[in-house]
Every structure is written in structure tokens, then in C-alpha cells.
Chains A and B, each alone.
Chain A
């Protein structure tokens, strides 16, 4: 189908975009890369009266590393993340995850800000942001505010952003030298939305997790930072310890049924991902054996 008629305004700056959003409120929609918004409009799932195109705002583009902070402008495209040596060095989880986002033609247009503001619970980048403990920079008429990734996502396509606000950048702490990461998702085809996925960031000292952030996606209405990870902290990981964490994870998650998978299949896959993730992060193939899930 084709999108319904709408008015179009090309924002010349963040200030200009905020003026337009202030004037039109929830009748307006921000157009970034358009790779989620345009399908929704073509399918007539949404019909905004005004499109505010922020695509030409140069100040929202680019990756900068200052000290221990990696700042990524909202308009930075998936392909830019994928090819960035700064991201590969300081947030390698993101480099690995972006390769799973859709297909090359989509990655050439889709942006990090668009993906995060869209907040599809099955998409990769929101989960990575929670795993990396990112801070989101949000601009509104009152100025700038900062929101942690963990409190930004509120539900399916729901975030902490109001209709008058713009997500302008994200900031990540650069990964410490002794940190390790893991990313995997199950999807029917490469590039499809995940049926279940895991983005993990950890610090391992002498085979022990001293920090572990396990963020599961496509198994809830938003990325889920698993509390079960605490069971693996500061302890020697035996199959029994991992089994206990796996049971706790299963009780903690509340996945939905849909045409792709049942809730019990998603819960099972999350447990498989937990075993694979713990095994890979610790470099212990013995932990990823049958029966743990």
C-alpha cells in the first residue's frame, strides 16, 4: 500500500525540529532513516499529519570518543556503526550486533536514534544499549535531559520520549580492557527480527564474573536485564550453578505468543542463549552441554 497524505517539513536544526514538534505534538512524527516509520506508514498502521524530517541535521551525525565516553549521534546509520573502528575498539558488542540488523540496503538508511526511539522489543540495538549501560541524550523545549537506557524503554514501541522531544545522541562507557561480550539471536532468516536474542557484556577475572549484564530481547515488551545474572556473579560457575540461574531466568521471563513462536519456545531459547553466553564469555565449552536448558 501507499502512505496516506501528510505534510512534510525538513528541519534545519535541532531547535527547528523542536519548534515543529512543539507546534504539532503527537500529530507529527519524526523521520530519521525511515526504515521502521515508512513501512508502518505504507501499511497504514500510522498516518501522521506532519513528517518532521531530521535527516539533514548534520550535528546529529557521527561517532566521537572522548576519554572513556563514546558518543554516537542519533542520525548515525547502522552501516556507520558496522564500519566504525572506534565502535569496534570501544563497543565491540555493537559491531557484532549491527550485522544482525536487517539487510545492507536497510542498514544504509536506518539510524541508531530511529531504532531506539521506535523501541521494537525484538530489535537488537535497544538490548545492546541496556547491556552497555548507555545514557540517552534527549532534547526538549526545556533543554537537555539524560535518561539511562534501562529506564528509557517502557513497552512495545513505548519509550520515555514525549511527543515534543527528540533523542539526539547516546553515550556509552568505553568497554574496559578486561571486558568481554556475547551476542546471539535466533531468527528464521538472517536479518529477520529475532525470535529470542541475548546481548551480554561482562568482566571476567580468573574465570569468575565480577560484572555481568545479560539483556534478553524479543522475550518481553522491552529489553530484559536478567536478574538471574546475579546468581553467576563472584562464584565458580559449575553446571549446577548455571542450571539454577537457568531456572531463575525461566521464572523471571514473561514472553508472548505470536505467529513466530510460542511463549514456552521463547523461554526455552532464552535458556539456551544463557548457557551459550556464559560458556562463551568464560571460554568454557564444557558449560554449553545438552540438558542445561
Chain B
């Protein structure tokens, strides 16, 4: 049973059929089999948030989910959110506010921030901070990241 298993899922709106080893986690599956390298692999034990993706519409740690568990699921990665334009304003706000330096944490930050902005139109800074508390930025850019998310929320309310 350690042999590859067939899975069928949707990734960024496209049907994907694949054979995966049980031990393969979702982050490695996206990066290595589908070449979707926007999902980053940092700590590999659920602490850093760099591998955050959406499964069935909700954000999860892709390093803490097996690829075989996504059989029948719908997965969205930063490539999907970026190509559809869903986070275009958030990305622009990150650029404007210089909320990324090395960029390693940025895909996970965008995924997590977007989930909060969808749920809550007027987040306080404390709420933004709390929602992003599971995402590490080792360039210490937190203030700028919170500024960018706050500016995006403001922009969406007036849009």
C-alpha cells in the first residue's frame, strides 16, 4: 500500500489526475508535480505559513495535508488567485507599501490576508495582526504588511 495512489482533484479550476505516494504532502505535490512553485515550503511542520493554500475555499497548511487527502477536493494556490485578479489590489498594496523584501512569505501572507478580507470588510489592525499571526516574515516586515492589508480593506470599502 506504500505504492502510488490515484487522485483526481481540481487545481485553480483545472481538473488534475495524478499518481501520488501516500507520504507526499500537498505542498510538494503542487511544487514538484504541477510546477506551481508559488506555494513555498519553509518549516514543514505547520509553523511558518509559507505553504498556505486554499482547499475547498478555506486556507490550510499544505505541508500538513497529504496529497492523497485532496482526492475530490478543489485546491487554489497563489497562482490561481493571482491569475484571476482576485488579489490584484492586495498585491498592489504590498508593492506600494514595500510589504515584501525577499518575498518568501508573501504568497502565504496574501492567501491568509485575502481570507480575512473576504470574511471581514473592516478589520482592526489587531484583528489583521491576529489573523496573520500564523505567518512568519523573517525580513521583519510585519508593520508594512499590516499597513498594506489595512489599505486594501479601505480601498475595497470605497470601491
Chain A interface (Cβ within 8 Å of chain B)?
Answer: 1-10, 31, 34-35, 38-39, 42-43, 50-51, 53, 55, 79, 102-106, 108-109, 189-191
Chain B interface (Cβ within 8 Å of chain A)?
Answer: 1-2, 5, 21-23, 25, 28, 44-46, 49, 52, 58-61, 63-66, 68-69, 71, 112, 115-116, 130-131, 133-135
Give the chain A neighbours of B135 by CB distance below 8 A: 103
Query: Bound complex: CA of A105 vs CA of B25, how far in Å?
Result: 16
How far apart are A158's CB and chain B's nearest CB, in angstroms? 22
Query: CB distance B45 to A39 under 8 Å?
Result: yes
Can you list 30 pairs linking A and B with CB atoms under 8 Å apart?
Answer: A2-B23, A2-B44, A3-B25, A5-B2, A6-B23, A7-B22, A8-B22, A8-B66, A9-B1, A10-B71, A31-B66, A31-B69, A35-B61, A35-B64, A38-B63, A38-B64, A39-B45, A39-B46, A42-B44, A42-B45, A42-B64, A79-B58, A103-B49, A104-B115, A106-B64, A108-B58, A109-B61, A109-B65, A190-B133, A191-B133
| CB-based closest 3 A-B pairs | A103-B134, A7-B1, A8-B22
Query: Bound complex: CA of A50 vs CA of B23, how far in Å?
Result: 11
Question: A3-B23, A6-B23, A104-B112 are known contacts. Are A50 and B1 too (CB-CB below 8 A)?
Answer: yes
Count of chain A to chain B residue pairs whose CB atoms are closer than 8 Å in the complex: 95
Query: CB distance A102 to B134 under 8 Å?
Result: yes
Main secondary structure of the interface of B (DSSP, over half): mixed
How far apart are A8's CB and chain B's nearest CB, in angstroms? 4
Given contact pairs A5-B23, A104-B131, A105-B60, enumerate 7 new A-B contacts (beta carbons under 8 Å): A2-B25, A6-B22, A10-B71, A34-B66, A42-B63, A106-B64, A191-B134
Question: A6-B22, A50-B1 are known contacts. Are A105 and B49 too (CB-CB below 8 A)?
Answer: yes
Q: Which of the residues A3, A6, A10, A105 comes within 8 Å of B59, measured between beta carbons?
A: A105
Query: CB distance B134 to A106 under 8 Å?
Result: yes
How far apart are B128's CB and chain A's nearest CB, in angstroms? 12
How far apart are A251's CB and chain B's nearest CB, in angstroms? 36
Q: Which of the residues A2, A55, A105, A191 comes within 8 Å of B61, measured between beta carbons?
A: A105
Give the chain B neighbours of A5 by CB distance below 8 A: 2, 21-23
Query: CB distance A109 to B22 under 8 Å?
Result: no
Query: CB distance A106 to B46 under 8 Å?
Result: yes
Q: Which residue on chain B has the smallest CB distance to residue A108? A: B58
Give the chain A neighbours of B133 by CB distance below 8 A: 103, 189-191
Give the chain B neighbours of A3 by CB distance below 8 A: 23, 25
Query: CB distance A4 to B23 under 8 Å?
Result: yes
Q: Which residue on chain B has the smallest CB distance to residue A102? A: B134
Give the chain B neighbours of A8 by CB distance below 8 A: 1, 5, 22, 66, 68
How far apart are B20's CB and chain A's nearest CB, in angstroms? 10
Question: A38-B25, A103-B133 are known contacts. Are A1 and B61 too (CB-CB below 8 A)?
Answer: no
Query: CB distance A6 to B115 under 8 Å?
Result: no
How far apart are A72's CB and chain B's nearest CB, in angstroms? 19
Tell me which of B61, B65, B135 has the highest count of chain A C-beta atoms within 10 A of its own C-beta. B61
Give the chain B neighbours of A42 by CB distance below 8 A: 25, 44-45, 63-64
Query: CB distance B60 to A109 under 8 Å?
Result: yes
Give the chain B neighbours of A102 by CB distance below 8 A: 134
How far apart are A192's CB and chain B's nearest CB, in angstroms? 9
Give the chain A neighbours of B64 by CB distance below 8 A: 34-35, 38-39, 42, 106, 109
Give the chain B neighbours of A55 by CB distance below 8 A: 69
Query: CB distance B59 to A104 under 8 Å?
Result: yes
Q: Which of the residues A9, A39, A43, A108 comes within 8 Å of B60, measured between beta carbons?
A: A108
Q: Which residue on chain A has the smallest CB distance to residue B53? A: A105
How far apart are B43's CB and chain A's nearest CB, in angstroms? 9
How far apart are B129's CB and chain A's nearest CB, in angstroms? 8
Give the chain A neighbours of B44 by CB distance below 8 A: 1-2, 42
